[in-house]
Structure 1
Amino acid sequence: MANLKVMIPLSTRAGVIKFAPVIKAMQADQVNFEPVIVVASQKYQQLHAVLNYFGLKPDFELNVDPVNERGKLDELSRLLHNLQTVVNAAQPDIMLTLGDTIVTLAASLSAFYCHLPVAHIEAGLRTFDKHEPFPDEMHRQLTDALTDLYFAPTEAAKENLLFEHQEETQIVVTGNPIVDVVQDEYDPKYASALLAGLPDHCRIILLTMGRIENTGLPMERVLRTMRDIVETNPDVELICPLPLDSQSFSLAEQLLANHQRIHLMPLMTLGDFINTAARSYLILTDSAGTVEEATVFHRPVLLLRQNTERPEALFAQTTKIVGTDPTSIQQAMFDLLNDKHLYRTMVSESADIFGDGHAAERIVAELKKRFIK
């Protein structure tokens, strides 16, 4: 029996984190699986740091010029060309994609033209607004149009796919593998120099921002607002990890520097981030992945976006959309810092909104059942 050669394109730090338990499960079953890891990203340092964290090594690395130099259309064209070369060299049996990046779309198109089946993790997520988030929403819709096997993280995602007339027999609800990772990384005995240096009984606010549409003025508004909130709430400590080599870090240095209760720092390791988030009072983020992570350790989230493809968190009242408008952020923060009943409402007792920690094994088992004879 030949093993199944699965091509896995990676392009973001979050994508590596979510793919890691799936790749590990395949590597543990070498009789049946041969994962082929392809890295295609401009953020090589960030991506390789998390690959090293999980002990993963790429089989291929694509050379793609930064998008700000050439633009999305040229980036897509170059990705298609380079992925075609990798497909010819690796001769995979299936393309396994995840999420909504331009690399996800390019990999799905490449597989389609090469007559390879496509399996899509996080299939069925929708805002139903093709311009928000841009261009992610159309990347995921187009990828699902090319997909043969849908790994939907939730029942709501499955319903979206059925609404779009996808075959129910090709949809498997698995949960999201980010939950697998959070459960593995969470340490109830975790300690760090950062947390040890904070006052007893302080309330930690964790702030993360990374989306392109929030760079510049939107981030400036958020940072100024958060500084005001820290200054008017003496028991609040703000922790803000950002990429050290980014313009965002430089902006944050200007606006958040020289404050005893504001802790600006480079991106944390995954374990440090998850365990710090788990000990936070609440989280402000523009990351959908962080929304999912926060449900596992029951922390309220204020989402710095206009909408979300994870409405389950809104229905469960664990997440509130505030965008980047200072007034909306200030009001939501005031409510959560002063209204104990509201805070308890957002601290969901359900940790399985986005899965039970067994998504990776379900994904690998389904691939084995369908493609390995």
Structure 2
Amino acid sequence: MKKVLFVFGTRPEAIKMAPLIKEFNNNPDKFKCTICLTAQHRQMLDQVMNFFSITPDYDLNLMQPNQTLFDITSKGLKALEQVFEEVQPDLVFVQGDTTTAFIGGLAGFYKKVPVAHLEAGLRSGNKLSPFPEEGNRIMIGHLASLHLAPTILAKQNLAAEGITKDVHIVGNTVIDALFLGLDIIKENEEPYKEYFKGIDFSKKVILVTGHRRESFGIPFENICNAIKEIAAAFGDEVEIVYPVHMNPSVQATVGSILKGIRNVHLIEPLDYPYLIWLMNNSHLVLTDSGGIQEEAPSLGKPVLVMRDVTERTEGIDAGTAKLVGTDLDTIVRETTRLMTDNHYYSSMAQAVNPYGDGQTSKKIAELL
């Protein structure tokens, strides 16, 4: 039996680890799982853990007001030393590019425990952008023994750095989590229907998410004005739902341009299950979020990416998403095309999602 330690501490890590933990727990004769939370983020992490019914064995509870990277790294690494000594794992799993993932990989290296890196090989090409994530990705890549790459491009990125041993293309567990989450929701959809009762789902629903700092200023105003034009152009045919990020700059711009428009619903940020329920019941998605670019195509929802560049070029190449930037006319034109051209809509909705088919966790379990 292989003793496997899972180390994570943020909401995105929890979402992507959850289906893998479930799969390993379904094979108790092969794997003994131990879950260690750093709680680099607290509230958002706990929401996901509760939704997926996962209970940690260790909770380091690192989150503190105004904590720095130095704080998280030093306190977390020292706390993990004791966890490793008690668990004596055969393998440690880390996910993505957080500081938690980095210290989990470093602790594994110090203890000479093989490190499995979930979602390996993502690269922007600039060590300082995103910061510190790109640096974390690179360092974890060179510490890890098992590289679980989501796509061919990720594998090629690793090869460019000389990492070619034990690299496996398995897809992304975010798709596994999406399907697992929707299965849980189907057991009782009433809370979700009640929460969104103010939205008319007999109309075409457009889900909007937008909050990236890189767009602040004129570009973000363009995005909001494009949404305003789309709302006016389609009137009673469309409902636009925008969970607005709590960042004051986002709140101010969105409020000044979109508040009071009858078919634009500005709502509070959504917990993970409410977001995927809404996504599943939408017609299309306008977003600058990386995760949604991966998830929405698995539900047959075309995605318009409101950024000038994206690290997730595989979706653009596959035709599941289209890069529209922050130009008002381009956003309106491409949204209009998806709303009125059924053939164009179908070509995006039916394109194969390059990020996986929901079987990534099983592939990893079989690999081990």
Unaligned runs of 5+ in 1: 368-373
Q: Does 1:292 align with 2:294?
A: yes
Residue 39 of structure 1 and its aligned partner are, at CA, apart by 1.8
Q: Which moved more, 1:306-315 or 1:108-117?
A: 306-315
Provide the aligned C-alpha RMSD in A: 3.1
Corresponding residue number in structure 1 for 2:28:
30
Unaligned runs of 5+ in 2: none
Q: What amino acid does structure 2 have at the position aligned with 1:82? A: A
Residue 290 of structure 1 and its aligned partner are, at CA, apart by 1.3
**What TM-score do you get using the length of structure 2 for normalisation?**
0.84
**What TM-score do you get using the length of structure 1 for normalisation?**
0.83
Q: Does 1:116 align with 2:118?
A: no
Q: Which moved more, 1:205-214 or 1:95-104?
A: 205-214
Q: How many Å separate the matches in 2 of 1:306 and 1:270?
A: 26
Deviations 1:310-353 (A, max 9, x none): 221011122122344545534443443455554343223424x2
Residue 260 of structure 1 and its aligned partner are, at CA, apart by 3.0
Change (3 A) 1:159 1:33: same
Select which of 329, 332, 335 maps to 1:333.
Answer: 335
Corresponding residue number in structure 2 for 1:361:
362
Q: Does 1:179 align with 2:175?
A: yes
Instruction: For 1:1-373, list aligned pairs within 5 A.
Output: 3-66=1-64, 69-168=66-165, 170-186=166-182, 192-193=193-194, 197-199=198-200, 201-209=202-210, 222-223=223-224, 225-234=226-235, 235-242=237-244, 247=248, 251=252, 254-255=255-256, 256-324=258-326, 326=328, 328-351=330-353, 353-367=354-368
Change (3 A) 1:325 1:89: farther
Identity %: 33
Residue 123 of structure 1 and its aligned partner are, at CA, apart by 1.1
Corresponding residue number in structure 2 for 1:371:
none
- 8 Å Cα contact 2:298-2:357 kept in structure 1: no
SS at match of 2:125: coil
Q: Which moved more, 1:171-180 or 1:200-209?
A: 200-209
Q: How many Å separate the matches in 1 of 2:222 and 2:37?
A: 34
SS at match of 1:233: helix
Deviations 1:95-136 (A, max 9, x none): 101111121112112211221111011112223233443332
Deviations 1:198-256 (A, max 9, x none): 4465221112246565678876664454344323431221212356x765785478344
**What number of residue pairs does the alignment pair up?**
361
Residue 11 of structure 1 and its aligned partner are, at CA, apart by 2.2
Q: How many Å separate the matches in 1 of 2:313 and 2:219?
A: 23
Residue 75 of structure 1 and its aligned partner are, at CA, apart by 3.2
Q: How many Å separate the matches in 2 of 1:103 and 1:28?
A: 26
Residue 277 of structure 1 and its aligned partner are, at CA, apart by 1.1
SS at match of 1:180: helix
Q: What amino acid does structure 2 have at the position aligned with 1:153? A: P
SS at match of 1:165: coil
- 8 Å Cα contact 2:10-2:40 kept in structure 1: no
Change (3 A) 1:223 1:135: farther
Residue 42 of structure 1 and its aligned partner are, at CA, apart by 4.5
